[in-house]
Amino acid sequence: MMELIEFLQGELLLTGTLFALIALLIVNIYGEKFKKYVVVDTNSAVSLMDDDELIVLDVRNEKERSSGFINDDINIPMGEVKSKLDTLDKEKNILVYCKNGTRSDHIASLLCKNEFKNVHHLKGGFNAWLKAELPIKK
């Protein structure tokens, strides 16, 4: 046991890296459980669309939307969402998407922090929607 402690003390960079990797692994495994929004796949997103009052929020920029978008969505580019929160109903179901899911994950978290009640994030974003061969508008 003493040898292990001496090794770890002698290899601080290696030890720090090891602990950082362990922490990242734990966050990756258990982080989903602490999110206040629901991560949905394309099938669940389609089911959500049975709600006539669902807000489908596209946070991509105008150039990205030229490749297509989900029917009846609202487009607010990511950089503008914070200043336009008051234009969205906090009580309605909201499905947020972007190109691949990274930006919409961030925006879903932002919405929850601002007391939106029913936030959903489309895992894989518009790319997943296309891959599932679901309808789009251009």
Catalytic residue annotation = 98
CA-wise closest residue to 86 among 96, 95, 76: 76
CA distances from 64 to 41, 45, 77, 97, 106 (A): 21, 20, 10, 12, 18
